[in-house]
Structure 1
């Protein structure tokens, strides 16, 4: 296990430098494997959702669980009913699994995990309504289990912002560049979110109504939407258009 001297800032800075070079999901996986091995943790599960509409989301799921466990966790969508997920959706501070009633976790896990685990979860709340969590665990019967988890939490609280930046980088690398709108298309769509008609937007921007309609139609097509209203919702959720600060 990393001793007290190795969990200091120089060690943490080493992890941060590694994260700043991450550009793929595979590299995030490799980094987390490397990090938990140094902290004597056994398993991790990173799940992040990226809304693309009000009812659909893309997901990034990275873990080192044995394959059958990983598949069941995804196929059965257990995370939707996990009390830890419910906590993370409403809070920003980490939570130790012991804070949740053992009976609730038992009902959720249903013997899927390979060991009697003890761990903690770190909520992730990112831009454009993205939400996720990082679960980290070790065998509950491991010597000094509580100390291992406490030391690990200290490190992860420092490096989590950099992990989120790495997730954002990977997401942007895989993002559909055809969805990128021109400045004029964004302007027209932004004014449309204010309830302005094409005629009103034309007067605001000093162009013809036909030009505004052209830009709005282009934006709708690029966002793979069927109408302007769907395009507005998708553009807001995906961060294509942002409110003025």
Structure 2
């Protein structure tokens, strides 16, 4: 039967749920910001080779945290636009709560939550799991990098941008989809081919990139982005 959780209970059961994960762990929270306790728990899951999926809407990671997260082979991250849900689950338990991931182990706010058990609440657990999978499917899986954090706060939004139909050009993310890449894979290939340069945590358009038709669009409703000829291939 579903169990009501107050602030302290939410923190307790969330930690226990993470520690008890044997097969999978899904963490959905608008803000990606990890305290020391959460990093300790995730590191342990990584050592045990547990599949961990983190879906977030905004990253507030510092460079040292980014480097740490990139070393976790079994932890995958996805960006989901307009994310507001907070849902945490393993193969047996699910917590739906007001608690953001970055507030875990803190008692600054008054929180509420509901704990579901797959054994006792099979139907509800199944619905929550299916919705979590839907959110994962519509999210863009990203490799956390300095470029990603910089893009969200001050630089190029590689996951955004609008295709300019009049110019016949596409944003990096749109062209990446067309070529069968993730956005970061496309950007990595553009760097390797010399069309982009990665410096000081940002991607910059090179002379070769400009000659290939690449453009840096400084302003749009999605923020700055690169656009390329529809037939462009980063080789």
TM-score norm. by structure 1 comes to: 0.27
Structure that is richer in helix per residue? 1
Structure that is richer in strand per residue? 2
Q: Which has the higher contact order (CA 8 A, sep 6+)?
A: 1
- Look at both structures and tell me which one has the larger radius of gyration over its CA atoms: 1
